[in-house]
Structure 1
């Protein structure tokens, strides 16, 4: 399990229920940003936004306490979530009527929502709450559609310092598969490994919930890449259906 620890617990529980053993090895460590100035600035003008897009559950967890400590969520500001985990995170803070895709959970799917087409957003202000770095596709496309977009980093992602515990599992033959939920996490893993450990990675079944991650895995010469359905349900279904004797 390579998601940030807090996000991995539900899937870890599902794996345990099915008789597997879930080992947590987060490839992205999540922490608050050092400078909250941009977020504070956005909060002062939050009434001016029509939509607030939360890129992940972490975006909700690291922004909403600051926003709600200052004021109630504005009635005219509609939340938008990339995926259902983020929808649930927003609901835990009392936010409802959230826009979210239902089939795929990525920026491309959000951009397909009718409420984010040019006719609906031209001339409107949109706030994107996210981590440091990441793709600019969402912001760029919304600007092309005529929206005024502010991007605010409210948390930061960093790679672990070493992969010693993971390498030890490979060495003793105790690791049967990896689940990887982001391209950034996969790159972090490859960067942490020496050549002999990369050889172990190439021969280990790797379960990924998005075609973009699968494409990167194949570019990195991983030999046993399994593209699952989205979310925890998709990953656990793929794990249960996999032929472990192959």
Structure 2
């Protein structure tokens, strides 16, 4: 893998999810700029979350939609994770975070890293009568909860965190644009929406002209809807994203 020396790359993930990716980019000599397009906050109803955590041992399965969901749960977990309760997650980042928290039994997609990919896993094919808890942000797509219920799960949806708009303003965005940008890594459709709708019309054309790297077609489609034209699909996971950037910037003409 050749280096990204001198490349100024925006990382738009929430701060708590960005550090590992930034470290990998910097190891390839990139100038990684943390520009979080989402902020993560506690849920409005902490009592409901704490009550759910007291009942973990009664579950047959816990499902986490993101590393943020894992972080939110383990920040308030009153004891050790019950070892008999398997965990299902969507992507490589969540697999790594679950391992870091000491969870041994992790179910994850092996090909398509999204809700549809997780629902295709054989261990989730039949959940009739099983007690399943889904930890997610406020709102979110309905595909995963509906799919779990369709497979017979007794599903309980728990808001583990809230997603908030970015904390920086149009002036700060303009400063980052003036400093230069060789590529933008976007990891969620919601982040793409915020980038093009939160900062007024002054920067739209410049934003549309930037080069975007994204690991999922749904996110690429969201960027394209806002007028972005330079879209590069990446491999999944932090290492896959960095490898894809290196491959793109070191192509032979």
Per the alignment, residue 6 of structure 2 pairs with none
Structure 1 unaligned runs (5+)?
none
Aligned length: 241
Higher relative contact order (CA 8 A, sep 6+): 2
1:90 alignment partner, one of 98, 106, 113: 98
SS at match of 1:12: helix
1:72 CA displacement? 3.5
C-alpha distance in 1 between matches for 2:58 and 2:208 = 49
Per the alignment, residue 34 of structure 1 pairs with 44
Confirm whether residue 160 of structure 1 aligns to residue 166 of structure 2: yes
SS at match of 1:156: strand
C-alpha distance in 1 between matches for 2:69 and 2:227 = 32
> Under a length normalisation based on structure 2, what TM-score does the superposition of the two structures give?
0.88
C-alpha distance in 1 between matches for 2:199 and 2:103 = 41
Confirm whether residue 10 of structure 1 aligns to residue 11 of structure 2: no
CA 1:86/1:212 → structure 2, altered by over 3 Å: closer, same or farther?
A: same
Confirm whether residue 102 of structure 1 aligns to residue 110 of structure 2: yes
2:122 alignment partner, one of 92, 114, 129: 114
Per the alignment, residue 227 of structure 1 pairs with 233
1:82-141 deviation per Cα after TM superposition (whole angstroms, max 9, x unaligned):
1222222222222112111122321111101101113xx111111011111211110011
1:194 CA displacement? 2.3
1:17-75 deviation per Cα after TM superposition (whole angstroms, max 9, x unaligned):
222101111001112123212212223432332100111111111112433x2x44334
1:169-208 deviation per Cα after TM superposition (whole angstroms, max 9, x unaligned):
22x2512211100001111111123223110111100111
C-alpha distance in 2 between matches for 1:105 and 1:163 = 33
Quote the RMSD (CA, aligned, Å): 1.9
C-alpha distance in 2 between matches for 1:228 and 1:117 = 29
1:243 CA displacement? 4.4
> Under a length normalisation based on structure 1, what TM-score does the superposition of the two structures give?
0.91
1:217 CA displacement? 1.3
Confirm whether residue 49 of structure 1 aligns to residue 55 of structure 2: no
Per the alignment, residue 21 of structure 1 pairs with 31
SS at match of 1:195: coil
1:142 CA displacement? 1.1
2:138 alignment partner, one of 115, 132, 138: 132
2:72 alignment partner, one of 38, 62, 70: 62
C-alpha distance in 1 between matches for 2:82 and 2:250 = 51
Bigger proportion of residues as helix: 1
